[in-house]
A and B are shown apart, each in its own frame.
Chain A
């Protein structure tokens, strides 16, 4: 009896030590899901004033000519008003704004993709954009409720070479995969799109209909396909590290900041040079145009290194 008891106790002691040893080796560390590698986001930051001033005039001219954006705006005939609002508001600031719809509809001026599946739509739209880019070298993909400030996008990518692969937006992580959130807008350089269009042909790596067993969202499919071509997601941020791509509306983000009881609600909300907001209603988009391109306090000037002119014939700017 005693020997049994003592062996039991010995067993407990040995078992405990064994467990501790293993946890020390790291494999059994409970609760610690994220390893240091997890925060290995790629970040893209806008150029600082000094960086821009160090460039020569001819370099600046070259950059400003290069930074022109083709907007791929996904719309649906069921909500026609989003098409007309994007066309009447922020779309005017794209160098070229093209609308892509799942099906055709009267009064809707969009490329008819004849497709209901989200991933297939995205593929077709991107292929079409690549074929029709002309001399535009940057591509911005938006959903129906996304509002984008294209000038701030141009500022972010100003010093980046579109002949290099770039895949930028609000970078998210799912397991091992880093992808750009679709809702807050996706930015692709010409080289990235070129590689993507190429890998579309490979049914193994980048299938059109997705794997049968479980369906990945189109944003993740995109990331996987791009990853095969050596292109990785990068998080767009301002010089202070604040994200520039938002999946919520301004009001929601302000409300979040108020709920967090930030000392400075506005500072804790969003970047001054934010590029996208999403989940905006058509009315809210009209008000955004006023808030971004018109409303301002008299007498405050920024000596930016580039000038963007207002679009022709617009009354809401």
Chain B
């Protein structure tokens, strides 16, 4: 009797042990198969794959000439009509050189490379040391604030010597400057590179015509650059101080280069020495040096900054990508911007020659009663009068507004 119940008991125990152990074995097996790659090697392989992917996409868009990146494809968005931007890209060629250093490549310059510098015609990263991988040009200077003007002098000499024919305008920016290159082209489109001009955020002290803030970025025309280089050849200009923006401004003044007004048609600044939040929402304390430096009156609040802003400074990595997102990606569908300035006359004529005029056909008979379509400030009912557009036949209607002058845009509506 005992033997029988004993073996039966053992059987049940065995059964229990078998079930439980298999269950836990399965659990463990499952977890192991579901677990993501063990961090060490998984991470490495994915990072390697990422950088390979990045290199592949980069090689389609960039041609490397020594340490210079020549842009092959102006970045485009699906579904956008960038014909005006493309025209400007061809006509207003910009070489962007970015002041950086070996210790900033991975923390700052890398983000510039991934964002706004892709919109330049030519990009050169200027450092004290050559780096063929990034790539950067080695200017043969040291690093640090006291080397800034030396770097600037050599960088501009390099740009003229190696790329004098690849660009019409030469932009200097820091590795914490964000530049909307397309808007810079708009600002420059009314001028020719044969004139000795330079644009930027204009400061007034220490130079009769003022000088441009280094951090906010500044742009020299080809003639201005020639004169700068000439100045050093003839010793009219020398390394006077390490305050690079002031020193450069004084040299250019001596060489007869004009400091220009880069504000938009509503007198709003385009080059900004601080981040957007500071200009839009900050109040500069009256004792702050900024008040006595600005050439033009400081405007606080929304009117500080042009819709077609060109630059911001003290931009960290997160803000670089955020600005790129705001500028080139995020938009309000169908929104008709309040500020719609015209293109320069010369470019408008060239545009008109290449495209069939569709001005005047737009809107005619397409706005039945009940839809509010008045121009700005003429909205009776709701705040957003939505007006339908027919895009059939590819005819551009109000999409042409940025090119046509405001008069035409309003006329289109009155016809409705």
Contacts and interface: CB of A to CB of B under 8 A. Distances in A.
Given A8-B11, A296-B337, A310-B376, A30 B26 contact: yes
Interface stretch (B147-155, B158-166, B225-233, B321-329): B321-329
Interface string B325-345: 111111111111111000000
28 contacts: A7-B11, A8-B11, A8-B14, A11-B17, A16-B22, A19-B18, A31-B31, A53-B390, A93-B332, A154-B386, A250-B322, A258-B318, A263-B57, A264-B114, A266-B115, A266-B325, A270-B330, A273-B331, A273-B333, A283-B277, A292-B330, A295-B326, A296-B337, A297-B181, A299-B402, A305-B389, A308-B336, A309-B376
A152 B318 contact: no
A4 B6 contact: yes
A301 interface: yes
Give chain A's interface residue range (CB within 8 Å of chain B).
35 or more
B388 A57 contact: yes
A3 B7 contact: yes
Contact of A15 (B22, B57, B181): B22
A255 B371 CA distance: 42
Contacts of B396: 301, 303
A89 to B, nearest CB: 10
B85 A250 contact: no
Contact of A292 (B12, B331, B390): B331
B207 interface: no
B30 interface: yes
Nearest to B21: A16
A272 B82 CA distance: 16
Interface residues of B, number: 108
Interface stretch (B93-101, B132-140, B304-312): B304-312
Contacts of B31: 30-31
Interface in B345-397: 366, 368, 370-374, 376-377, 379, 382-392, 396
Given A286-B280, A302-B79, A4 B7 contact: yes
Contact of B30 (A30, A57, A149, A295): A30
Given A57-B388, A301-B81, A308-B386, 14 more contacts: A7-B8, A15-B14, A15-B15, A15-B17, A16-B22, A18-B19, A64-B388, A250-B326, A263-B54, A272-B329, A295-B180, A303-B399, A308-B335, A309-B385
Contacts of B3: 3-4
A273 B80 CA distance: 13
Most chain-B Cβ atoms within 10 A of its Cβ — which of A149, A150, A270, A302? A302
Interface in A251-269: 251, 254-255, 257-258, 261, 263-266, 269
Contacts of A154: 333, 384, 386
Contacts of B307: 294-296
A261 B336 CA distance: 35
A307 B18 contact: no
Nearest to B29: A30
B387 A254 contact: no
A293 B21 contact: no
B286 interface: no
Contacts of B318: 251, 254-255, 258
